[in-house]
């Protein structure tokens, strides 16, 4: 038994509140490279479980497990809703991406992915660069989002989808999708958030930006004339749209009552801490673009790309995220429910048609 496993109480694993219908959860430890990781495969009904690998300095293994379980379930729904023939999975590596991560550690992770015989396919997520994925690809062929497998870094496609999703949200709330003069608060200026900010800037939006990593903030201020705010205040500022592009659970009982924007539409996975937070947004008249619907551009690029790249097809499918969101918003209005409930129902309808919910 490895050290990571032994630090999680037995019951805390099997009775974990986020443990659902997960098919396989693997705890990984590699002494030589310092790798501690969890790989969660949620559902393979529609195909092999595809989902990114996150490197993050979790406070304890239980938090890492929570993230892996939630994110892998989210991938099942994301892939189903995006019309991909893929199941849902996710990996988390417990390490500080700026201090602890090494090529050897990523290679060790690749060897563990390879042991899963293609039931899990890995890719980039928070804290992982295209170079890291090249290291993983030296050890397993079950990796996407590298130059060799297609279009490389999926983040620009995620950003394109988020931008189209923001436009669809603006159209639903304000009657047209014009972003000229709209004020947008972007929280998190990483691979996706910075690109979303750039697109918004080019579309004429006024930007308010925040990140815990100061250099990214300074760059956005300089390049986009953005106003910088404390990351903890990003959701509170006066804006038309709040765009969370950092980590999950940012929409919760404390933050939802403080939001002043009419729309929440961003890339972060698992933005709602609980379903009640989605209901609270609806009650406050704030339109929420379900995270896994709006941020599917990256996984679309990973899933549909072919070696050599077929950018036009991937872009077309990614731009269509705006149309999917328009359908979700219409249905939510008609059924007097929340957009995330409609997105779940649409994903489950597809899984049901394939023989399983
Ligand atoms: P990234 O690591 O490149 O960027 C994340 C940024 O958020 C970093 O700059 C980090 O400093 C910042 N950050 C962390 N905590 C913060 C806080 N409390 N306040 C403000 N900023 C904070 O990651 P990314 O690839 O840009 O992904 C961003 C989000 O989008 C994540 O939730 C990820 O799961 C999700 N997502 C990414 C992709 C993709 O293609 N990269 C696809 C789908 C979803």
pLDDT in tens, 29-84: 999 999 999 999 999 999 999 999 999 999 999 999 999 999 999 999 999 999 99
Q: Is 190 annotated as a binding residue?
A: yes
Q: How is residue 226 annotated by DSSP?
A: P
Say yes or no: CB of residue 127 within 6 Å of ligand 1.
yes
205-260 pLDDT, tens digit per residue, is 999 999 999 999 999 999 999 999 999 999 999 999 999 999 877 999 999 999 99
How many whole angstroms from 356 Cα to the centroid of ligand 1?
Answer: 32
128 touches ligand 1 (CB under 6 Å): no
Q: How many Å apart are CA 344 and CA 342, to the nearest integer?
A: 5
Structural domains present in the chain: 3-78+85-137 (3.40.50.10860), 155-352 (3.40.50.720)
Range of weakest confidence among 1-15, 122-136, 142-156, 197-211: 1-15
Instruction: Tell how strand 287-288 and strand 53-56 pair up.
Output: unpaired
As a whole number of angstroms, the distance between CA 117 and CA 107 comes to 16
- Relative to the CA of 246, which ligand 1 atom is closest? 7
Say which of 29, 90, 101, 317 is annotated catalytic: 90
Report how far apart, in Å, the C-alpha atoms of 348 and of each of 12, 77, 78, 94, 353 are.
Answer: 28, 8, 11, 31, 8
Distance, CA of 37 to CA of 55 (rounded, Å): 9
pTM of the model: 0.87
């Amino acid at each position: 038994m490895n050290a990571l496993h032994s630090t999680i109480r037995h019951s805390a694993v099997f009775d974990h509140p986020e443990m659902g219908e997960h098919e396989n959860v693997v705890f990984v430890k590699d002494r030589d490279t310092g790798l501690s990781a969890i790989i969660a495969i949620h559902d393979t009904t529609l195909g092999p479980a595809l989902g990114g690998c996150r490197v993050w300095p979790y406070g304890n293994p239980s938090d890492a497990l929570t993230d892996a379980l939630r994110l892998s379930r989210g991938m099942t729904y994301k892939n189903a809703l995006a019309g991909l023939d893929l199941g849902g999975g996710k990996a988390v590596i417990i390490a500080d991406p700026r201090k602890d991560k090494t090529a050897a550690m990523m290679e060790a992770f690749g060897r563990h992915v390879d042991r899963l015989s293609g039931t899990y396919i890995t890719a980039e997520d928070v804290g992982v660069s295209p170079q890291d994925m090249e290291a993983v690809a030296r050890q397993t062929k079950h990796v996407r989002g590298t130059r060799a497998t297609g279009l490389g870094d999926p983040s620009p496609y995620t950003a394109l989808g988020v931008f189209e999703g923001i436009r669809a949200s603006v159209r639903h709330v304000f009657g047209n999708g014009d972003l000229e003069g709209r004020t947008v608060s972007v929280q998190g200026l990483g691979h996706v958030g910075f690109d979303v900010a750039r697109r918004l800037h080019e579309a004429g939006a006024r930007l308010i930006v925040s990140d815990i990593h100061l250099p990214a903030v300074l760059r956005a201020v300089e390049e986009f004339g953005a106003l910088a705010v404390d990351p903890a205040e990003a959701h509170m500022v006066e804006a038309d749209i709040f765009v969370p592009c950092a980590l999950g659970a940012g929409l919760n009982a404390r933050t939802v009552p403080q939001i002043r924007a009419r729309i929440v539409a961003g890339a972060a996975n698992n933005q709602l801490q609980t379903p009640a937070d989605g209901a609270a947004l609806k009650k406050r008249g704030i339109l929420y673009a379900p995270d896994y619907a709006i941020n599917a551009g990256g996984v679309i690029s990973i899933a549909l790309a072919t070696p050599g790249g077929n950018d036009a097809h991937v872009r077309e499918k990614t731009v269509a995220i705006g149309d999917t969101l328009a359908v979700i918003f219409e249905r939510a209005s008609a059924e007097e429910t929340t957009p995330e409930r409609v997105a779940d129902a649409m994903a489950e309808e597809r899984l049901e048609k394939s023989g399983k919910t």
